[in-house]
Chain A
Amino acid sequence: QQPVQSPQAVILREGEDAVINCSSSKALYSVHWYRQKHGEAPVFLMILLKGGEQKGHEKISASFNEKKQQSSLYLTASQLSYSGTYFCGTERIQGAQKLVFGQGTRLTINP
């Protein structure tokens, strides 16, 4: 079952912060975050595992609330290079153990 991302799109000025949310109705084992720039393949940002800690990558970090089956991606002091579409991917604890992605959040950073 596909995770749900929100918002669908965000427009920021350079230097502003953003939060992208990802939620699932099923118990999750892991949450992945990827960024895709126009015309390119998705690129891995980070993975959060059940029982794991909050991850960070430059000024991009993420959290995983296992009880709520939610993850949030935090982008602080956004840079022009952060523009792209962000996808969360989830793997369930039980049942189908495959990586399924949300519909994506399009992030536009303006100067």
Chain B
Amino acid sequence: GAGVSQSPSNKVTEKGKDVELRCDPISGHTALYWYRQSLGQGLEFLIYFQGNSAPDKSGLPSDRFSAERTGGSVSTLTIQRTQQEDSAVYLCASSLVRDTEAFFGQGTRLTVV
């Protein structure tokens, strides 16, 4: 596609439910990031995929969060047993290689009620 695509754009879920957020990066981009942005706050790093290397999961806030990237392309961020503090905009970004421009998707706004 022309840009980074994320789905859904909005998700409202009940506390305790699991959610899956999808990111479709720009074709050919080897680097893929997930960030979380709470209202009016900065970009909190969650996880980084680079090619076939093991992902850097150091930013995941708890073991309820996991992510995978299949075939070096599409990535899914899964949050299990959602809590109200998980409410935020989840942004995905991809770049061709390290040290190049990162392109952001429009994000998924997650609301846990």
Contacts and interface: CB of A to CB of B under 8 A. Distances in A.
Contacts of B35: 101
A104 B43 CA distance: 8
A44 B45 contact: no
Interface string B70-113: 00000000000000000000010101001111111111000000
A42 B101 contact: no
Interface in A60-111: 87, 89, 91, 96-104
Contacts, number: 54
Interface residues of A, number: 23
Interface of A: 29-30, 32, 34, 40-44, 47, 49, 87, 89, 91, 96-104
Interface residues of B, number: 23
B104 A41 contact: yes
Do most interface residues of chain A lie in helix, strand or loop, or is the interface mixed? strand
B99 A30 contact: yes
B42 A49 contact: no
A41 B107 contact: yes
Given A41-B91, A41-B107, A99 B42 contact: no
Contact of B101 (A29, A41, A44): A44
A101 B42 contact: yes
Nearest to A32: B102
B103 A44 contact: yes
A40 B45 CA distance: 18
20 contacts: A32-B102, A41-B105, A42-B91, A42-B104, A44-B101, A44-B103, A47-B100, A49-B99, A89-B43, A96-B56, A97-B50, A98-B33, A98-B48, A98-B56, A99-B33, A99-B95, A100-B45, A103-B42, A104-B41, A104-B42
Interface string B37-54: 000011101001010000
B99 A103 contact: no
Contact of B45 (A41, A43, A47, A101): A101
B58 A99 contact: no
Contacts of B103: 44
Contacts of A99: 33, 45, 48, 93, 95, 102
